[in-house]
Homo-oligomer: A and B are copies of this chain.
Amino acid sequence: MDTKQRILDEALTLFSEKGYANVFVGDIAERVGIKAPSLYKHYKSKKAIFDAIIDKMNESFAEQAKAMQINGSDAVADAEIYKGLPEEQLLKLGRQFFLYFLHDDYNQKFRKMLTLEQFHDEDLAKIYSRIYVDDPLSYQGMLFGFMVTSGILKTDNVQIMTLHFYAPIYYLLTICDREPDREPEALKLLDDHIKQFDRIYGREN
């Protein structure tokens, strides 16, 4: 029963649904099962709760990014995995990846919260871009770089190939965040996208 942590969890849920300004300290407290004033024994202000969420997110994403770079081996290993992959398995992997980021609580809520707050200060803008632009393009780019070297993929511009893979996936994710009912449609497009990508950049081209 770590109240301090529960406050963060409930606050994140509310922030991701309504945005910071539309969530009241009382709402958070109510979900935690305490009264608003009690909450101030754990955090000194509403803003402090928000900042704590951002700090935690930064920590966990930095950890993840670091692990991926230190084990540059990760990308090498991943590239190896894709090497012999028949299209069907590639589709399955892509779909798993997509569904994980779409439905994983932590990921979805952070993403939606950042979407709603991204214009409110420069730091948040930078964090958004790091998590949803720079880091994925950098990791995917590394992975695809290995795959090009291995002859699994073919291109003379890895960066754009990576953009061509990632941008449609990101786009479909934002559709589902906004209208969860469109998930089946998005999954169909995801499948077709990966198939087409494989045909364009894949071995048999």
Contact = CB atoms under 8 A, between A and B. Distances in A.
A157 B126 CA distance: 36
Q: Dominant SS at the A interface? A: helix
Nearest to A113: B119
B163 A168 contact: yes
A54 to B, nearest CB: 16
Interface string A158-179: 0111011001101100010111
B164 A196 contact: yes
Contacts of A189: 159-160, 163
Contact of A171 (B125, B159, B171): B171
Q: How many copies does the complex hold?
A: 2
Interface string A1-36: 000000000000000111101100000000000000
A170 B167 CA distance: 8
A110 to B, nearest CB: 14
Interface in A94-141: 112, 115-116, 118-120, 125-126, 128-129, 133
B164 A168 contact: yes
Given A18-B120, A21-B22, A120-B18, A133 B163 contact: no
Contact of A112 (B119, B126, B161, B171): B119
Nearest to A128: B178
A192 B116 contact: no
Given A129-B179, A164-B193, 12 more contacts: A21-B22, A115-B118, A115-B119, A118-B178, A129-B178, A133-B175, A157-B192, A157-B196, A159-B192, A163-B189, A167-B168, A168-B168
14 contacts: A19-B21, A19-B120, A115-B115, A115-B119, A116-B116, A125-B178, A125-B179, A129-B182, A133-B175, A159-B192, A160-B189, A163-B168, A163-B171, A167-B167
